[in-house]
């Protein structure tokens, strides 16, 4: 127990919540299969970043997560790798053709960055990924959604449009991520974020990431996360 505390201190990670798992200081400790580990090694990453070391074991164990860490700390992979593991578990078990993983991000640029990263690592398991965002061609996006992507990356407003148009069906989503929650609030997306969360089945796993932790984010967490592991890297922004 004491060495776990020291380990977290050395990583600069603060953790709260019921029984958080031990952080993993090397990729080998993530219990990923050889295919995913080899893709990570090919990225020339040598070890997990602080947020990855704590968030990945918690997410793999099925926990909801609140992750606070500044830009550039590797949050994307911290939710994408566990999402891929989850999809590999779920894809045979669940009927239907809607996405299993859903990631919401505030802007077109961010959603496209996440999309590229999801395709890069998703290739390991032939996971199909689609990206929908405001300002993009709705018809093209609808076509992409028809091709049964297992991961959808979306900006909140455009995703709501697709839900209304019934061009996507989120009944099968069991792994939900809100990235850059603080920016989503700054951009006025709170109603859309809450509406999306209400659309997804309650037995889902939910991960929420933010660079800062303000009152509104805290209140959203209270409403949409269940018994989360809270992870803070560095100082609270």
In Å, what is the CA distance from 48 to each residue of 25, 34, 107?
6, 16, 26
Q: What is the nearest approach in angstroms of ligand ADP to the Cβ of residue 200? A: 22
User: How open is the CA angle 168-169-173, to the nearest 5 degrees?
Assistant: 120
CA 231 to chain centre: 14
Token representation of residue 195: 């509406």
Q: What is the nearest approach in angstroms of Mg ion to the Cβ of residue 74? A: 8
87 touches, from ligand ADP, Mg ion, none (C-beta below 5 to 8 Å by class): none
Residues in contact with Mg ion by CB under 5 A are 75
Query: Smaller CB distance to Mg ion: residue 96 or 237?
Result: 237
In Å, what is the CA distance from 235 to each residue of 130, 170, 173, 231, 232?
34, 36, 33, 11, 7
- State how far the Cα of 177 lies from the Cα of 165, in Å rounded to an integer: 22
Residue of minimal CB distance from ligand ADP? 76
Query: Smaller CB distance to Mg ion: residue 79 or 172?
Result: 79
74 touches, from Mg ion, ligand ADP, none (C-beta below 5 to 8 Å by class): ligand ADP
Q: What is the nearest approach in angstroms of Mg ion to the Cβ of residue 209? A: 7
Token representation of residue 102: 């859903």
Query: Smaller CB distance to Mg ion: residue 150 or 182?
Result: 182
DSSP3 helix / strand / coil % (the chain, rounded to 5):
45, 15, 40
Q: Which residue, among 33, 22, 41, 131, has the nearest Cα to 87 in the 3D structure?
A: 33
| 65 in Cβ contact with 59 (< 8 Å) | yes
Q: What is the nearest approach in angstroms of ligand ADP to the Cβ of residue 67? A: 9
Residues in contact with ligand ADP by CB under 6 A are 45, 48-49, 52, 69, 71-77
Query: Smaller CB distance to ligand ADP: residue 74 or 136?
Result: 74
Q: What is the nearest approach in angstroms of Mg ion to the Cβ of residue 112? A: 12
Q: What is the nearest approach in angstroms of ligand ADP to the Cβ of residue 36? A: 13
- State how far the Cα of 205 lies from the Cα of 203, in Å rounded to an integer: 7
73 touches, from Mg ion, ligand ADP, none (C-beta below 5 to 8 Å by class): ligand ADP
Query: Smaller CB distance to Mg ion: residue 108 or 138?
Result: 108
Query: Smaller CB distance to ligand ADP: residue 8 or 162?
Result: 8
Beta bridge partners of 13: 233
């Amino acid at each position: 127990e004491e060495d776990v505390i020291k380990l977290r201190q050395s990583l600069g990670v603060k953790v709260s919540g019921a029984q958080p798992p031990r952080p993993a200081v090397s990729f080998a400790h993530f219990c990923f299969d050889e295919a995913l580990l080899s893709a990570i090694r090919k990225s020339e990453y040598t070890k997990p970043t602080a947020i990855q070391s704590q968030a990945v074991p918690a997410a793999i164990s099925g926990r909801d997560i609140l992750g606070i860490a500044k830009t550039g700390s590797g949050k994307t992979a911290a939710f994408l790798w566990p999402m891929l593991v989850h999809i590999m578990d779920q894809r045979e078990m669940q009927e239907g053709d809607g996405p299993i993983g859903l990631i919401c991000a505030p802007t077109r640029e961010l959603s496209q960055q996440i999309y590229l990263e999801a395709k890069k690592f998703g290739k390991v398991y032939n996971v199909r990924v689609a990206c929908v965002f405001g300002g993009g061609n709705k018809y093209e996006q609808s076509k992409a959604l028809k091709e049964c992507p297992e991961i959808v990356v979306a900006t909140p407003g455009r995703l709501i449009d697709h839900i209304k148009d019934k061009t996507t069906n989120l009944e099968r989503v069991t792994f939900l991520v809100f990235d850059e929650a603080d920016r989503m609030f700054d951009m006025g997306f709170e109603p859309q974020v809450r509406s999306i969360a209400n659309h997804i089945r309650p037995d889902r796993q939910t991960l929420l990431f933010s660079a800062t932790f303000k009152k509104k984010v805290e209140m959203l967490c209270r409403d949409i996360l269940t018994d989360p592991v809270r992870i803070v890297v560095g100082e609270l922004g």
